[in-house]
Amino acid sequence: MGLRERKKEKTRLALLDAALDLFLEQGYEATTIEQIAGVVEVSSRTFFRYFASKEHLALWFHDHSEEVMQAELSARPLDEPPFTSLVHALRATLRDMAESTPDDTERFLKLRKLYDSTPVLVGRSVARGAETEQRLAAEIARRTGRGDDDRLPHLMVAFAMASMRVGFECPINEITDLRELVARMNSTLELVQRSLVPGWDLARG
């Protein structure tokens, strides 16, 4: 990897870390792009060359997680019940999270803490999740040969994403260990699986 690429990656992470720290100090909305860029000593214009928007920075992990999900989904056998495939795809992203570097782990925990004080950010995260939902639902529909009028693919993905969201949110006590969080999300996923009628994802509707 050349010097240029290394420098870019360094700037990218510096912006991310500076932003997370500022967000936690003074709040997400109260933090301006100029401040973030100032800490890293780049211009505001450059900030937008690294992140499409303030929101994209705060939700930097979304794109990666979706890639992991899509990849795992594609790798599942076509004759597997579709919701089972989805659950495997979700588990893959959880594994990916649990195996992340210490730096990334720290970033995750900071972001998790930020969520508690920033409802608007939670909303934006859900919105991004909804976009992913569309793409995953289309993929499920394709894999199972369902038409556009069949609501089950969309419903399956919505349930799957809801499990993750609910698992991610809510615990009042401080989360200091990422594995704890991942375990919680895993157990929520199991709770959801227990709550669904076996074979529900094979019906048509």
Partner DNA sequence: GTAATGTATGTCAGCCGATGACAGATGACA
Partner DNA sequence: TGTCATCTGTCATCGGCTGACATACATTAC
60 to each of 12, 119, 204, 205, how far by Cα in Å?
Answer: 11, 17, 36, 35
User: What gap in Å lies between CA 197 and CA 157, rounded to an integer?
Assistant: 16
CA atoms within 13 A on the CB side of 121: 25
Annotate each residue in 47-76 with x if it binds DNA (CB under 7 A) or - if it does not, as one string: -xxx-xxxx---------------------
User: Residue from 9, 41, 99, 174 that binds DNA (CB under 7 A)?
Assistant: 41
User: Residue from 38, 159, 175, 183 that binds a second copy (CB under 8 A)?
Assistant: 159
Q: Please, which residue, 71 or 191, has the CB nearer to a second copy?
A: 191
Residue 169 contact, options DNA, a second copy, none, Cβ 5-8 Å cut-off depending on partner type: a second copy
> Which of 33, 27, 32, 189 minimizes the C-alpha distance to 115?
27
Site for DNA (CB under 7 A): how many residues?
24
Burial of 167 (0-12, 13-18, 19+ CB in 10 A): buried
Annotate each residue in 130-149 with x if it binds a second copy (CB under 8 A) or - if it does not, as one string: xx--x-------------xx
Amino acid at 158: A
User: Residue from 6, 46, 126, 179 that binds a second copy (CB under 8 A)?
Assistant: 126
User: What gap in Å lies between CA 38 and CA 18, rounded to an integer?
Assistant: 9
Q: Please, which residue, 12 or 165, has the CB nearer to DNA?
A: 12
Sites of contact with a second copy (CB under 8 A): 119, 122-124, 126-131, 134, 148-149, 151-152, 154-155, 158-159, 162-163, 165-167, 169-172, 188, 191-192, 194-197, 200, 203, 205
